[in-house]
Structure 1
Amino acid sequence: MRTALAGAAALTVAALPLVVFATPAAAATDASVVVFHGVPGLTVDVYASADDTYTEEEALLTDFEPGTITEPVAIPEGTYNLAVFAKDANPSGDPAIEANDVTVPGGANITVAAHLNAEGTPVLTPFVNDVSKVDAGEGRLIVRHTAAAPAVDVLAGGEPVFENLTNPNEAKADLAAGTVSASVAAAGTTDPVIGPADVTVKEGSATIVYAWGSLEEDNLDVAVQTIDGLHSSPSGVPSGTADVGGSSLPLALGGIALAGALVAAGSAARARQVRA
């Protein structure tokens, strides 16, 4: 699965030139892509080119650091190429990884999570976001385990609501809109390793909570993504906002490219075609 997921990183990077210079309304064949960077301590540079040769002038973004979620961008379906280099590496040399002829699927709503697996190895996981309608007065809470940690329970008010959640899986429920005091504990226990923290479940929205970082390195943290427009049929690609540690984090479009590419630099998997 990892090799297929690496292609999701590639599609975000190579598609960037299309969305930077033209911003048409989202079409039915566009994919809505958000990238979550949850790999502590990994920084990369990313280049895109139509002919597979790269110069410093073709750098999309450089020195991109962990702990961010990009804003959603509508990416036209199509096929793209890219190369990923270690931070400050000479782009005329051999890239850490190349992704050629990567297909962007149309119509999907995807969050690409660059994160650590349970053993602490950087991996790339695309989550297909559930943007189906919710009932009036309700919102959707989604919790995703993307940390280097064993199975966990998600607690609300000290009681487990999602149990035995393993990396890289998710659990979800439609709830009455409001504020939930949530924490994360090792499966079968109630002693929090993250939290408790207040999580707002918005009416007509999906609130997605990522547990990320490493238990062994004592840097576990939480990031929150919100997808709006679930209370009625959206006219285009559902929008969203990204929060890290409770703070709003609007990012430039280029952030999507680098966050998606960072795991490609941190793993040996070859990028392949994404199948939504």
Structure 2
Amino acid sequence: MVAVGAPAGADSGAPPGRLVIVQAVPSESLNVSVDGHMVRNGTPVGAILGPLSLSPGRHRVGFTDPSGTLRLTSTVDVASGSSSDIVVHLPASVGGAPVVNAYKTPRAPIAPGKARVLIAHTATVAPADVVVDGQVVFHDIANGEFATADIAAGPHVVALLPAGRRAHAILGPLHVDLRAGTVTMVYAVGNPRDHSMNVITHTDTLASNGAVVPGSIDTGRVGLAAGLAVHPFRVPQRHATPAETSDPQTVPWLELGGAVLIAAGLVLALRRRRGAQGRSG
């Protein structure tokens, strides 16, 4: 991670935030600066700069072309521990000057087996639908807008189509493989009229939300059950009556019957052992 100087008045004691800069203007080579400090000269389309480590506060991100014709400055408020992308891209109108948008990385914890995507429309096309595996998952996204979703990890086929249409894809189909526990930032860029349509992506790791099946249960370290004899056994299967089967709230309790018996037996054994220890003392 690249460190960048703190802005005036920033709290230097707070943890920094992260900023990724994405150059999404086709056929341009841009100079990129942050707070007047040059990050990279001659940045080509598709380049991803960072993540940059920035102190909390307001920062200025600048873009210029070598001739000086293009001069863009955007301000971004960086929060402690945050993560965002700054994307310079074409507007919806053909021939329009590039614009800058910020996209906050959705870093909330994610469930096992899932992957998160943020898809942003940063191309010179009309509002579009995003199709994943043949199903429309995002409707009518305009230039500069974005949408996020958690989907099953693994291979997927993605396409960008004109809003409301199911043929003549603007982009794709693209074959992507999403890793579990990650967030992928996806930017559709370019102009279909000059065949410059493409995608720019980068991926980051997410924390688990804790929704996992436990592999073991910690019973403590005191040793109260250390001397208990454990014997294998089977709980006789009890078949539900027709009345019980018709009640969906009844069946789970029937399945838990064996577990309740086991727990009751263990508690009784522990009480007996504690009583024996008390009498021996």
User: Is the shorter-chain TM-score for this pair beyond 0.5, marking a shared fold?
Assistant: yes
1:257-276 aligned within 5 A: none
Structure number, greater radius of gyration: 2
Cα distance change on mapping 1:230 and 1:116 into 2, 3 Å: farther
Q: For structure 1, which segment, 184-193 or 79-88, has the greater mean C-alpha deviation from structure 2 after superposition?
A: 79-88
| Correspondence 1:38 to 2:24 | yes
Deviation string, structure 1 residues 67-98 (Cα, Å, up to 9, x no partner): 22234222223566787654166xxxx99467
Q: TM-score, with normalisation over the residues of structure 1?
A: 0.62
Secondary structure class of the residue paired with 1:29: coil
Aligned with residue 43 of structure 2, among 59, 64, 80: 64
User: 1:194/1:29 Cα in 2 relative to 1: closer, same or farther (>3 Å)?
Assistant: same
* Secondary structure, aligned partner of 1:216: helix
Structure 1 position 202 matched with structure 2 position 179: yes
Q: Alignment partner for residue 224 of structure 1, among 192, 195, 201?
A: 201
Aligned to 1:76: 55
Quick one: higher RCO (CA 8 Å, sep 6+), 1 or 2?
A: 1
Q: What are the Cα deviations for residues 206-229 of structure 1, in whole angstroms up to 9, with x where unaligned?
A: 122211111232211011121212
- The question of whether the paired residues in 2 share the 8 Å contact of 1:158 and 1:190 is answered with no
2:93 equivalent to 1:119: yes
Residue identity (%)? 23
Q: Distance in 2 between matches of 1:48 and 1:133?
A: 30
CA distance in 1, matches of 2:159, 2:73: 39
- Aligned to 2:22, the other structure's residue is in SS state strand
CA contact (8 A) 2:130 2:138 kept: yes
Answer whether contact 2:14 2:56 (CA < 8 A) is retained: no
Give me the whole-angstrom Cα distance separating, in 2, the residues matched to 1:48 and 1:36. Answer: 13
Map 1:83-98 to 2 at 5 A. Answer: 85-87=64-66, 96=71
- Residues 150/110 of structure 1: CA separation in 2 closer, same or farther (3 Å cut): same
RMSD: 3.2
Letter aligned with residue 139 of structure 1: A
Which residue number in structure 2 is paired with residue 172 of structure 1?
148
Structure 2 gaps of 5+ residues are: 7-12, 211-281
Check the 8 A contact 2:91/2:123 in 1, yes or no: yes
Q: What's 1:237 paired with?
A: none
Letter paired with 1:197: L
In 2: Cα distance, 1:82 partner to 1:164 partner: 29
> Using the alignment, how far apart are the partners of 2:92 and 2:139 within structure 1?
16
Scaled by the length of structure 2, what TM-score is found? 0.61
Contact 2:28–2:65 (8 Å) recurs in 1: no
Contact preservation (8 Å) 1:137, 1:177: yes
Cα distance change, pair 213–165 in 1 and its aligned pair in 2 (3 A) = same
The one-letter code matched in structure 2 to 1:201 is L
Count of matched residue pairs: 200
